[in-house]
Chains A and B, each alone.
Chain A
Amino acid sequence: MDFSTFLIQLLNALQYGLLLFLVASGLTLVFGIMGIINLAHGSFYMMGAYMAFSLTSLTGNLLIAVVLGVALSALIGFLLEWGLFSRLYKRDHLDQVLLTYGLILMFEETRSLIVGDDVHGVPIPELLSASIQLSETLSYPVYRLFMSAVCIALAIGMYWLIRRTRLGMMIRAGSSNREMVQALGINIDLIYRLVFALGVTLAAFAGMLAAPVSSVYPGMGNQVLIICFVVVVIGGVGSVWGALVAALLIGLADTFGKVIIPDYAGLTVYILMAAVLLWRPEGIFRRI
C-alpha cells in the first residue's frame, strides 16, 4: 500500500466510523441513561431511511424530507416511550428484549405493507452530487464528506447539550439517581421521554443521511443493530464520547482489516471488542 492509498483508506475509515457513531449514539443514550435494551434501534434506522425515500419521492427534495422525517421520528419516539417503554423501567431486561424484538417484527411488517419489499434508491441532492478527484482512477463523492461533517457537528452538539446545558445536567442527574431528581421537583418522566425521542431521532436521522449512499432495502436495520451494540460495549454503556472513540476504532479496524487480512475481515471488529473487554471490562469510557 503506498502512502496516498493509505491516506484514502484512512479517510474511508474515519467516514465509516463517524456514521457508525451517529447510529450508535442514540442507542448508548437510551441504554445508558434509561437502562433500556433497545433491540428495535436498528428498526428506527431503517424507518429513517424509508422516510427519506418516501418523503423525497413525495416532495422531490431530500432536505425537506429530512426536516419532515426528523419531526415525524421525534413524534414516534415520544409516543413509543409514552405508550410502551415507560412501562418497562421497573421491569426485567428480558421483558425489554421481548418488547423491542416484537417491535422489530412490527416495523418490518409495517414497512412491507406501506412501501413493499423492493430495493429503492434515494438520489443524492444536486448540490452535493459532485466528486473530488483523489488519484488518477479514484474520486471521492462530496456527499460522503458532507456526511462526515454532519456527524462531527452532531457529536459537538451532543457534547454541548449533555455537558453545558441545564437539560443535560438534569439528564445526567436522572441517570444516576432517578428518585432524587424527582424529589427536587424535576419532571423526570418528561426528561426520559425527551431522551428516548432523541435516541429514536438520532437513529432515524442516521438512516436518512445514509439513504442516498446505502440505498433502502428490507432488513437493513438488523444489519446495523449488531455493530451498534459493539460500539456501545466497546465505548462503555451510556458514554457518548466512548461511542465516538469506539466507532472510530471500529472504522479503522474494519477498513484496514478488509485490506490487510481480507480472509479474516469479518473477525477484526470482534477481536477488537474482545481485546477492549479484556483490558477494560466496562468499556473505554464509563458513563456519559
Chain B
Amino acid sequence: MDQGFNRRQFLLSTAGVAAGLALPASPLFAQSNRKIRIGLMLPYTGTYASLGNAITNGFKLAVEESGGKLGGMDIEYFTVDDESDPAKAPENANKLVKRDKVDVLIGTVHSGVALAMARVARETNTLLIVPNAGADEITGPLCAPNIFRTSFSSWQPSYAMGNVMAERKHKTVVTLSWKYAFGEQSVAGFKEAFEKAGGKVVKEMYLPFPNVEFQPYLTEIAALKPDAVFVFFSGGGAVKFVKDYATAGLRTSIPLYGPGFLTDGTLEAQGEAAEGLLTTLHYADNLDFPKSKSFKAAYFKAFKVQPDVFAVQGYDAAQLFGAGLAGVKGDVGKRAELIKAMESATIDSPRGAFTLSKAHNPVQDIYLRKVEGKENKLVSVAAKALADPARGCRM
C-alpha cells in the first residue's frame, strides 16, 4: 500500500514538472505559425482494429492529396486507441480535448464509444466528426452544431432495404439481429419501410451480443417459413451466420437480406456461402464515379490493399474538415463560420457526392449490391439522396 502511494506521488510530481516545462513553449507557436491539431480516437486493437486502421489511412490519404495540409494549414495528429471500450471513452476523449487541446476530434467505430464522445463534444464544445458509428442518436437527440458524421445512421441502409424487399414481392419477413442498440435500430428502420409498403414482419428475433450460436434460430426460421429473412450482423458474427445459413440449406428456399455490413470486409472468410447475397449500403466496390476510381487507385498505391467503406468514411471526414478550414482560411477561432462552411459543403466522395442534412448526417444514395466473386457489386440505387429523419434533434 505504502509503496504504491509513494510511487503515485512521485509520478504525479514528475508529471507536474514535465507539464510545467512543456507549457511555456506552446503559446509561442500558437501566435503565428499554428498547426491544426487533429485528435484521432479510433480502435487500433481488438475486434475493430482493421476498421480503425482503414479510417486512419483514408483520412491521411485525403491530407496527402492536398499536399500534406488541410485547408492550406499544416496539421499535427494526436492518436488514442479507444479499444472499442465505452467505459474508457469519456476519459480517452477528455485526454485529447483537455491535454492535447485538439481542434477537432475524429472518431469512432463503436457506437457506444461514439455516444460518449458526442457527450464530451457537447460539454466541451469541441468539433467532432464521426467517421463510422451509426447510432441514430448522434444525429438525433444528441445532435449539436459542433457534431458531424461522414458515415451513415443505422436507420439509412435498413430503411432502404425495407423498400427493396417489398418491391421484390416479399410479403412476410423474419428479422434476426444482436440485441443491442445498432441491431435494434437497424431492424426498426427496416420494419418502418417494409410495413409501410404493405409487408409484414412476422417475428423479430434477437440474440444476446456477441453470442454466435445461431442454430436454434435457423431451426425457428425453417419452421416459420417466411418469404425472406432480414438480419443485421457484422464481423465474425456475419461470417458465421452467412455460413450457417447456407449449410442449413435455407439459402435456396428463403432468401437472406441485410445492411451491407453482412458482407463488407468478410467476403474472403465467407467464401462461396455469400455468393449472390443482396445487401444495402452507401458504398459498393465497383462504383463508376471518377472519384471512386481515382480513390481506389491512390489508396491501393499508398497502402497496398483495396479500400473498403471505412476507408471512404475516413477520407470524407478529412475532406469535410478541410472544406471547413478552407472556408475560414485556417482560422479555427472563427467557429461559427467554420461550421457554416462544413454544413454547406458538397463532399466529392468516392461513394458519390453528398451533402449534409440539417442534423449533420450525410444525405446520400443507398445502393443495392450483390456479392459476386468476393466483391459487393452495384445492382441499382435503392434509395436516392436518402436523409435520416433525425428524430429528436432540435437544431
Q: A residues within 8 Å of B by Cβ?
A: 1-2, 5, 8-9, 12-13, 15-16, 108-109, 112, 116-121, 123-124, 131, 133, 135, 137-141, 143-144, 213-220, 223, 254-256, 258-259, 262-263, 265-266
Contacts and interface: CB of A to CB of B under 8 A. Distances in A.
Interface stretch (B46-54, B187-195, B380-388): B46-54
Contacts of A258: 207, 213, 216-217
Contact of A266 (B45, B208, B215): B208
B109 to A, nearest CB: 12
Given A119-B239, A138-B222, A220-B236, A15 B215 contact: yes
B44 to A, nearest CB: 10
A280 B11 CA distance: 49
A141 to B, nearest CB: 4
B3 interface: no
B375 interface: no
Contacts of A16: 213, 215
Q: How large is the interface on B (under 10, 10 to 19, 20 to 34, 35 or more residues)?
A: 35 or more
B306 to A, nearest CB: 13
B218 A138 contact: yes
Nearest to A138: B222
B269 A119 contact: yes
Given A120-B268, A121-B271, A133-B249, A217 B49 contact: no
B370 interface: no
B261 interface: no
Given A12-B215, A112-B45, A258-B217, A213 B179 contact: no
A138 B266 contact: no
Contacts of B210: 223
B47 A219 contact: yes
A218 B216 contact: no
A137 B240 contact: no
B225 interface: yes
Given A121-B271, A137-B249, A265 B207 contact: yes
Contacts of A8: 219, 222
A228 to B, nearest CB: 14
Contacts of A215: 236, 239-240, 243, 269
Interface in B240-267: 240, 243-244, 247-250, 253-254, 265-266
A242 B291 CA distance: 62
B269 A120 contact: yes
A266 B179 CA distance: 10
A262 B248 contact: no
A265 B208 contact: yes
B223 interface: yes
B212 interface: yes
Given A12-B219, A119-B265, A131 B179 contact: no
A121 B249 contact: no
A16 B50 CA distance: 30
A95 B253 CA distance: 54
Nearest to B239: A215
- Give me the 5 closest cross-chain CB pairs, A-B, nearest first: A217-B236, A266-B208, A139-B249, A138-B222, A121-B269
B352 interface: no
